[in-house]
């Protein structure tokens, strides 16, 4: 079996644990995350090969990448996918300026959202979160990997070939099956994604996304968030409950109170949630900062 190892270096600090903690993607198939070893990995299909790719922190500005089952010619694609997972090419300077002291976690390598290997996978998984429980989202993602994906997350053509009926009945997507099929066809017909599911960002603005059948403001904002557009908070019932219970306000009031964040309001919201999560963990932000010794930027 082919195996290999390389190191990816970044211009800004990237903290793997903070990136995994940014939202729940690491718990949806085909991802797996081992908090004990600090390894994040998944099954990936590159060409006609199915292999495993893992990433682990090397230092504040680099990661070790390991793979099995993929040949040496796959290295550029392995590197590209890992960089996308970690939002490694996102430049945080404007966000740090807008968020001020609220951007402290960005300096530690946070503020990056874990992303899938393609926009299409991010899109489909966003659809799987609509009007359902998290356990159902996990089950649906696993079903897509198991059958149409045959071990990896399926691309657009594989899902179209699988068909709406099987998506509804066998993968148990319910009403989301029609949304996935119609949106996939339109995304491909409009040239908004390519055959691999990679995006053309200029064709995927918020207005375009909400024009897709079954895609509302929440799903569109979440997809845009994963394209590093932080101008809208993806508001679902969990966000409404959290803001009411923790901040005594609704999403509009929360945004108004933090108008200085401007087009980075969604990132500021995510960092607020992340700070609270870290405060409840066994490793406070201050201790993480001492341990990581992030270089100043």
Same-domain status, 127 and 208: yes
Same domain, 185 and 136: yes
From residue 172, how far is each of 27, 187, 205, 212, 292 by CA, in Å?
Answer: 19, 23, 29, 21, 43
Residue 59 belongs to domain spanning: 3-89
- On whether residue 288 sits in a domain, the answer given is no
Regarding whether 210 and 130 lie in a shared domain, the answer is yes
Q: Check which CATH number belongs to the domain holding 204 and give it.
A: 1.10.340.30
Q: Looking at the structure, do residues 69 and 125 belong to the same domain, yes or no?
A: no
Task: Report the C-alpha gap between 93 and 115 in whole angstroms.
Answer: 20
**210 lies in a domain?**
yes
Answer whether 13's CB lies under 8 Å from 1's CB: no
| Residue 101 is assigned to a structural domain of this protein | no
Q: Give the pLDDT means over successive 10-residue stretches in the chain (297 positions).
A: 91 97 96 97 96 98 97 96 97 96 93 97 98 97 97 98 98 98 98 96 95 97 98 96 96 96 97 90 47 32
Task: Return the pLDDT at 285.
Answer: 44
Q: How far apart are CA 8 and CA 31, in angstroms?
A: 20
Please tell me whether residue 17 adopts helix, strand or coil conformation. Answer: helix
Looking at residue 282, its pLDDT comes to: 54
User: Which phi and psi angles does 9 have, rounded to 5°?
Assistant: -110, 150
Task: Report the C-alpha gap between 113 and 129 in whole angstroms.
Answer: 17
Whether residues 124 and 188 share a domain: the answer is: yes
pLDDT of residue 147: 95
Residues 136 and 189 in one domain: yes
**Claim to verify: residue 140 and residue 221 sit in the same structural domain:** yes
Q: What is the pLDDT of residue 281?
A: 77
Q: What is the dihedral of CA 65, 287, 111, 297, to 10 degrees?
A: -90
Return the CATH number at 16. 3.30.310.20
> Looking at the domain assignment, is residue 98 inside a domain?
no
Q: 283 lies in a domain?
A: no
**Of 36, 68, 89, which marks where a domain is finished?**
89
Give the chain's domain count.
2
3-state DSSP: the chain helix, strand, coil percent, rounded to 5?
50, 15, 35
């Amino acid at each position: 079996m082919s195996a290999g190892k390389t190191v990816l270096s970044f211009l800004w600090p990237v903290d793997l644990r903070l990136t995994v903690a940014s939202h729940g993607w690491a718990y949806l198939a085909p991802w797996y995350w081992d908090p004990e070893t600090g390894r994040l990995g998944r099954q990936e299909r590159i060409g006609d090969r199915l292999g495993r790719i893992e990433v682990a922190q090397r230092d504040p500005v680099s990661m070790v990448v390991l793979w099995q089952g993929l040949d040496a010619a796959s290295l550029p694609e392995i590197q590209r996918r890992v960089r996308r997972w970690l939002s490694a090419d996102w430049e945080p300077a404007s966000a740090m300026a807008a968020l001020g002291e609220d951007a402290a976690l960005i300096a530690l390598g946070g503020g990056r959202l874990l992303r899938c290997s393609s926009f299409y996978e991010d899109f489909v998984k966003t659809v799987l979160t609509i009007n359902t429980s998290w356990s159902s989202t996990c089950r649906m993602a696993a079903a897509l990997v198991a059958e149409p994906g045959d071990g990896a997350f399926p691309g657009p053509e594989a899902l179209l070939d699988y068909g709406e009926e099987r998506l509804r009945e066998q993968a148990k997507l319910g009403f989301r099956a029609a949304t996935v099929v119609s949106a996939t066809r339109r995304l491909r017909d409009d040239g908004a994604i390519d055959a691999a599911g990679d995006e053309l960002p200029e064709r995927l603005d918020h207005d375009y996304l909400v024009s897709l059948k079954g895609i509302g403001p929440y799903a569109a904002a979440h997809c845009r968030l994963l394209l590093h557009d932080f101008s809208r908070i993806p508001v679902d019932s969990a966000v409404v409950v959290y803001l009411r219970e923790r901040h005594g306000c609704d999403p509009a009031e929360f945004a108004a109170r933090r108008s200085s964040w401007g087009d980075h309001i969604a990132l500021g919201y995510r960092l607020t949630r992340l700070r609270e999560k870290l405060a409840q963990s066994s490793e406070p932000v201050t201790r993480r900062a001492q341990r990581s010794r992030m270089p100043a930027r």
